[in-house]
Amino acid sequence: MSSMAAEIGSAKRLRVIIFDSDGSNPYSEELLHIFRSYGVDAGFVGPVDHLFADDSCVLRPRFSVTQPRNILSELRTLFRVVSSASSNQPLIVVWARPYQKIILGMMACAKKGSVFYIVHNPVRSRWPVGIRRRIESFFIAVTRPVVHSESLRQMLLGLGYSDAGVIVHPPYQSWRDRIGASHTRRELLGPRINLLVLGRMEPDKFKDLPALISNLDKLPVPSTLRLLVRPRLTALPPTSQLVIDDSSQDGWIADGELAESLRWADILVAPYEAVTESGTVQLALTLGLRVVAFSGGALDGSLTSNALASSGDYEGLVEAIVNVSRTSTSTAKWTPESRARECYDAWIDELTKKPGLREHSAVGD
């Protein structure tokens, strides 16, 4: 049997279980979509809605010390999921609460190599501290950590962890198709450019919103900037020609509102000065929306050079907007189809490795 045939055979025998206690993020939906598209039997465990109603276990109601039945229900689910984890039925943990990491980690101690943990933001400024850091270190030590890029792997190394698998962020094809949010790029922009800033205003990412607005106000064509961000903004600098649509809010952004803004925009502006792997950028590129951003980190692997400016160079970011606005060419280095295949191939390679072939240990405090 050829190596390719052996790989396909191994993949077909897999039954992947995805654990995610965050029902607000479609990340798990995308992993399920990719695995199932290539014929891998994949199930989901977590807060279940209509997306995961088939072939899934319910983790609701959430763990609560005031409701003993809920405790027993969740413990049974967690035990069943982890006890079934094996080389042919691995468990991928997308997001878990600290108490779940303790329970899952204790159960996973004898299952090294079968439980995989996606570490989304190994950023020192956002890394947990105190008891949460100890829980995180324990969980990484007893599972196989996975990150989305080599730059993130280096950041995890800098935090004291010795190794991690590298698997690209999945595109948001399932969300795009479910919401009907595909974007049509105009060949030539009209008399006004519609700009969108989207996401959570993390202090280490969005370092200088006034500088961004001040420089966007100097664009050579009239522009509208929509700020669909969390939390709600309390003060914005004055502008002379830039029209600001402040749609900031404290709560979660509804899918319909998100899709409408992505269809409305000509360009998504991602002014992150401390970037890891932005889900909003991956979402926009999947939909076909052009993106401009600061260079550095994982985004360099997703965006073309004309869409990038040096970190903190807001004048350069404006120049990038002008450059990409003059064409309908995508700013993505990948198509959703090629990205999905790359993600799938990397997962299969990671999941079918023998645990002994991986260097794996953690030295977090």
97 and 202 inside one domain: no
Least reliable range by pLDDT among 4-8, 37-41, 138-142, 323-327 = 4-8
Residues 156 and 197 in one domain: no
The answer to whether 276 touches 120, Cβ cutoff 8 Å, is yes
Q: For position 360, what pLDDT does the model report?
A: 44
Q: 31 pLDDT exceeds 60?
A: yes
DSSP class of residue 355? G
pLDDT at 2: 47
Of 8-17, 97-106, 213-222, give the lowest mean pLDDT range. 8-17
Position 362 in a domain: no
Mutual orientation of helices 279-287 and 255-264 as an angle, nearest 10°?
60
What are the strands of the beta sheet with 56-58, ordered from one edge?
56-58, 41-46, 15-20, 91-95, 115-118, 144-147, 165-166
For 177, the token pair is 């198709």
Answer whether residue 364 is part of any domain: no
> In this predicted model, what pLDDT tens digit does every residue of 107-128 receive, in sequence order?
888 887 899 999 998 988 889 9
Burial annotation 33-57 (CB, 10 A radius, 16+ → b, else e): bbbeebebebbbbbbbeebbeeebb
Asked if 142 and 31 sit in the same domain, the reply is yes
Looking at every residue in the chain, the average pLDDT score rounds to: 85
Residue 363: inside a domain, yes or no?
Answer: no
pLDDT digits (tens, 9 = 90+) for 214-271: 999 999 889 999 999 999 998 899 999 999 999 999 888 888 888 899 989 999 999 8
Contact 13, 88 (CB under 8 A): yes
Q: How many domains does the chain have?
A: 2
What is the band of 182 on the pLDDT scale with cuts at 50, 70, 90? Answer: confident
Domain region containing 283:
181-333
- Specify whether 348 is located in the same domain as 312: no
Helix 130-142, helix 98-108: angle, nearest 10:
30
Is residue 176 situated within a structural domain?
no
**Residue 346 shares a structural domain with residue 314:** no
Residue 212 is assigned to a structural domain of this protein? yes
Q: Are residue 155 and residue 223 in the same domain, yes or no?
A: no
Cβ-based neighbours of 4, under 8 Å, separated by 6 or more: none
pLDDT at 72 exceeding the cut of 60:
yes
Q: What is the CATH number of the domain that holds 244?
A: 3.40.50.2000
Same-domain pairing of 21 and 42: yes
Backbone φ and ψ of 268, nearest 5°: -90, 125
Q: Convert the pLDDT of each residue in 258-307 to its tens digit.
A: 889 998 999 999 988 766 677 888 999 999 999 999 987 678 888 999 99
Q: Are residues 186 and 328 in the same domain?
A: yes
Question: Do 85 and 220 have their domain in common?
Answer: no
Which residues on adjacent β-strands are paired with residue 250? none
- Alpha-carbon distance 361 to 177, whole Å? 40
In this predicted structure, what is the pLDDT of residue 361?
40
pLDDT bin (cut points 50, 70, 90) of residue 56 is low
Specify whether the backbone of 125 is left (phi greater than 0), alpha (psi in -120 to 50) or beta.
alpha
